[in-house]
Structure 1
Amino acid sequence: MTSITDRAHVARHRTPLNRSQIAGFWGAWAGWTLDGMDSFIYALVLTPALTELLPRSGYAATPANVGLAGSILFALFLIGWGLSFIWGPLADRFGRTKVLAGTIFTFAIFTGLSATAHNVWELAIFRFIAGVGIGGEWALAGTYVAEAWPEDRRKMGAGYLQTGYYAGFFLAAALNYTIGVHYGWRAMFLTGAVPVVVAILILLRVKEPEKWQKAEASTVHRKPLREILGPVYRRRTWVACALLTIAIIGLWAGAVYEPSAVIQLATRAGMARPDAIRTASIATGLLSISTVLGCLALPPLAERIGRKKTLAIYFAGMAVAIVGSFGWSFYMPNGLVPFIAWLCVLGFFGGNFALFSLWLPEQFETRVRATAFAFCTSFGRFVGAGVNFLLGAAVLNMHTLGIPVALTALAFVVGLFIIPFAPETKGEVLPQ
């Protein structure tokens, strides 16, 4: 009979990672970090970039035109982001590391080229193609880590990987504080070209996962997109699409309107505009830190109680936090501090994205895994983009952002009824 000491020793022991697995993880993590950085750079430099480029394009740089052009550029970026499902079949056919490097190379080059834009049309094209690259990085990074890391470590690896996106927010803010302030928006876009180095390192130093190599050697090539929508995988594909769509709706609702809400509350509390903006930056930092903590807490919980129960807890937490922040504290006479406190709760449960990095690879075999991951994330982005624009129209018509954003909590309630239709993969090894 195994003693408690022996079981504790086994629990502490983990399969060691080799150099290729370590380098591959840091390459994937750095790519996901720089992905988050790139997304946030655009938000930071949008106004100064359009203020300069609109007159060169024949339009006055009025606040209304800047807002309209910004919305159009964001829409094109989201369309590119959604079209990123093209990377999945490529990765299933040609390998994870090569195509992962391709996604990083694409968004890095076209983010850097954004610095050379002479008018809004050129900037729009560069942002659209950068979006195609950015959108594929998560699917391929998540697939790579799931397949390359040992079975006893890949679950926690999913949590570690997901922290990268939010670390990118901090990196973008730091670059804006140092480079953007002194050298302008073009220099900020140039910093986005740095991931090219990461792409080259991935290509030169990281081996393809053995799982993919074995599957590639024994697989008769079919059409993976048709397969994940066929009778074997159809149900889990569409359930995963629905759950990811709900998660994306919540992410964008909170991330897009959180700074504006904090600025409004800070201004209402008597702060000057510069102090209100600084408060919004602090609140964004707290939101990001809380999300990182939520990502790290999720894998152990999913291993203990299962994937479906864990997602249900995180979805319920998101629903409560969205209502508590945007539906309640936003309308309090002195709601700034309670709102920021609720943001920390919102951020923690926003770590639900780490579950998809862990769970999606477990639901599909190696030959279609990257295609399934990319398809499900892209589907969610398309629907999420549409909901985001409807939300913007509601904010405009209701003259308040609190209630429209609070109503997105209903999506997470719907999600609680969809979760039971997903497969439970706790205790199962990654399918070959």
Structure 2
Amino acid sequence: MTSNETMPEPSDSMPKKGLRKVRAWGLWINLATFLIGYATGVIAGALLYIREDMELDSGQQGLVTSILLLGAMAGAMATGNLAERFGRKKMLLTAGVLFAVGFSLAALASGFWLLFFGRILMGLGVGVGSALVPTYLGEISPAQIRGWMLTLNQLLQTVGMLVAYVVNLIFAANGNWRAMFWVGAVPAVVLALIAMRLPESPSWLITKGRIDDAKKMLGSVAGEERADEMIAHQQQQADERRRERGDSTPEKSGWRGLLTRRVRPGLIVAVGLAILQQIVGINTVLYFAPTIMEQTGLSAANSIIYSVIIGAVNLGMTIVSLRLIDRAGRRPLLMISLIGMGISVAVLGLAFLFELSSIVMLICMLVYVSSFAVGMGPVFWVILGEVFPSDHQAEGSGAGSTMSWLSNFAVSTAFLPVVGLVGTGPVFLIFAVISVIGLIFVYRRVPETKGRNFDEIEPDLQARAYGSAKS
């Protein structure tokens, strides 16, 4: 049994009360992703006033912004092994504490270095949350609502970013950047407190031999009889894996285990989508929207308002994805998303090259963000929780999250210098070509995972990677 098999699968096999309970757990767990969005979005408005109060030079401003991404990479890399050792609950608690201390230090900062350290801690929280949440949600979710649950990851992150923009707008009148950070500390404390009351992942409990605890958790949502069946099934699957590799051959654990023949196809999908999600250029639009809009001839005086508009569109289309993910499936949404992004960003590039109307450019940006939000944005996080076996789920999610933040950092850092070198139009045309490459990758490598468990997904992964299903 895998992380995606810890709940009953037929739609009538879990009581409605149990489904409601699992959905509630998912919302609380996703406070971590709300904080990811808030931490990445709040600096855009706060920095406008921090740089004056602290007299920061351009290098310090860049460090305060980008250090969060580096912290996120470090946090994501460490989370897989730590989550396997200490459990999902404790790592969620850790994320809450990191966020709470990070926001508090930033709010109290009287100079650059305390602010810098606060942003590092926020970044570590971002990394822990981004790597942990797909694993945790995948392991507590039944297949019929797993897509919905995992899409909450992107939805709450989008909500967090939009809330940050609105909070920035509220406090912009008096330039109170400290209040912008204090607002973030409140849900961080709530997350830490809630984490202590959430259930532990049943998959993790079973791998640690805590069968009675796993049965109690599963029984609370599925009933004792079904809980016994699921636990027996997981133990049977573990026995089969041991027989396949031979009892005398220990299975590789940790990061090394991701490179085994059994796990590598899922790793290729996760890492490939993680890189694509960023190098299609979405964060150049989300982070640099005011700068891009200024080039259309519009005023940049209301840059925060522009960010709110982009954030609202992003949120709205993510909600659409939430409704479609378990109906349309993962592959169709990914392919529609990449087609929409490729066309809109290509037209945007041509609009810059041929100096077309600013209205055309703005429409292209909105279509581009909408296309991302309905597919590439949320579906990556869904698939990240579905293409790894339970014994490598935490490390796999950590690898995917790490590559996502690394690619984010690389693209965000390189965007403005490359624009200065070759121009805005050609850069957007490059993003269009990448979208086409991404479409080919999804068609060839990414299986449909809707309503399927890992033992059903695995042969498809193996066939796409090696040309034939695993025997």
Please, what TM-score do these two structures have when normalized by structure 2? 0.77
Q: Report 1:379-398 matches (<5 A).
A: 379-398=403-422
Q: Any gaps of 5 or more consecutive residues in structure 2?
A: 1-9, 210-234, 239-249, 457-471
Deviation at 1:373, TM superposition (A): 0.7
1:36 pairs with 2:37: yes
The residue that corresponds to 1:49 in the other structure is: 50
- Name the residue aligned to 2:326: 300
Pairing partner for 2:294 from 253, 260, 263:
263
Q: Answer whether contact 1:287 1:346 (CA < 8 A) is retained.
A: no
Q: Deviation digits for residues 361-381 of structure 1, max 9, x if unmatched?
A: 221122221211111121232
1:110 aligns with 2:102: yes
Amino acid at match of 2:261: P
Q: Aligned-pair distance for 1:41?
A: 0.5
CA deviation vs aligned residue, 1:372-411 (integer Å, no higher than 9, x gap): 111112123213322332322112224x434323422222
Residue 140 (structure 2) aligns with: 148
Code of the residue aligned with 1:83 in structure 2: it is: A
Any idea what the Cα deviations from partners look like across 1:178-225, whole Å, max 9, x if unmatched?
235336112211222113333233333211132332233278996321
C-alpha contact (below 8 Å) 2:72/2:126 kept by paired residues: yes
Paired residue secondary structure (2:163):
helix
Task: After TM superposition, list the pairs within 5 Å mapping 1:412-431 onto structure 2.
Answer: 412-419=435-442, 420-430=444-454
The letter of the residue matching 1:408 is F
| Residue type of the alignment partner of 1:138 | S
Aligned residue for 1:136, secondary structure, equals helix
CA distance in 2, matches of 1:118, 1:279: 28
Partner of 1:81: 72
Instruction: Give 1:324's aligned residue.
Output: 347
Equivalent position to 1:229, from 256, 259, 268: 259
- Aligned partner (choices 121, 124, 145) of residue 129 of structure 1: 121
Contact 1:362–1:425 (CA under 8 A) maintained in structure 2: yes
State the SS of the aligned residue for 1:25.
helix
- CA distance in 2: counterparts of 1:221 and 1:236, whole angstroms: 17
Residues matched between the structures, number: 403
CA distance in 1, matches of 2:115, 2:305: 30
Q: Where do 5+ consecutive residues of structure 1 fail to align? A: 1-9, 55-60
Partner residue of 2:363 out of 341, 345, 353: 341
Change (3 A) 1:313 1:348: same
CA distance in 2, matches of 1:206, 1:146: 15
CA deviations on 1:336-383 (whole Å, 9 max, x unpaired) are: 322232233212221222212222222112222121111112123213
Q: Is the 8 A contact 2:32 2:95 kept in 1?
A: no
Give yes or no for contact 1:27–1:201 (8 Å, CA) kept in 2.
no
Alignment of 1:177-196 (within 5 A): 177-182=169-174, 184-196=176-188
Residue 430 of structure 1 deviates from its aligned partner by: 4.7
Q: Do 2:71 and 2:127's aligned partners in 1 also have CA atoms closer than 8 Å?
A: yes
Distance 1:148 1:379 in 2: 25
Q: Is the 8 A contact 2:154 2:378 kept in 1?
A: yes
Which residue pairs with 1:359 in the alignment?
A: 383
Q: Contact (CA 8 Å) 2:270, 2:383: kept in 1 or not?
A: no
Is residue 37–residue 161 contact of structure 2 (8 Å, CA) maintained in 1? yes
Please name the residue that 1:3 is paired with.
none
The CA distance in 1 between the partners of 2:437 and 2:179, in whole Å, is 43
Task: After TM superposition, give the deviation of residue 42 of structure 1 in Å.
Answer: 1.0
AA in 2 matched with 1:252 = N
Q: CA deviation at 1:278?
A: 6.3
Paired position in structure 1 for 2:283: 252
Report the residue type matching 1:34 in the other structure. L
Is the Cα contact below 8 Å between 1:146 and 1:361 reproduced in 2?
Answer: yes
**1:230 aligns to what SS in structure 2?**
coil
2:61 is aligned to 70
Give how far 1:282 is off. Answer: 5.2
Counterpart check, 1:93 vs 2:116? no
Q: How does 1:135-174 map to 2 (within 5 A)?
A: 135-174=127-166
| Corresponding position of 1:283 | 309
Aligned partner (choices 401, 406, 427) of residue 424 of structure 2 = 401
Are residues 13 and 280 of structure 1, via their aligned partners in 2, closer, same or farther at CA, if it must alter by over 3 Å?
farther
Does 2:16 match 1:16? yes
Distance 1:423 1:41 in 2: 36
Shift of 1:131: 0.6
How far off is 1:299 after superposition? 0.8
Separation in structure 2 between the aligned mates of residue 356 and residue 285 of structure 1, nearest angstrom: 19
1:227 CA displacement: 0.7
Looking at structure 1, the residues matched to 326 and 351 of structure 2 have their Cα atoms a distance apart, in angstroms, of 32
Say what the alpha-carbon RMSD is for the aligned residues.
2.9
In percent, how many aligned pairs have the same letter?
24
One-letter code aligned to 1:133: G
When normalised by structure 1's length, the TM-score is 0.83
State the SS of the aligned residue for 1:407. Answer: helix
Counterparts of 2:304 and 2:112, CA distance in 1: 29
Contact 1:359 1:425 in 2 (8 A): yes
Q: Give deviations 1:34-55, integer Å, cap 9, x for gaps.
A: 220121111111132122223x
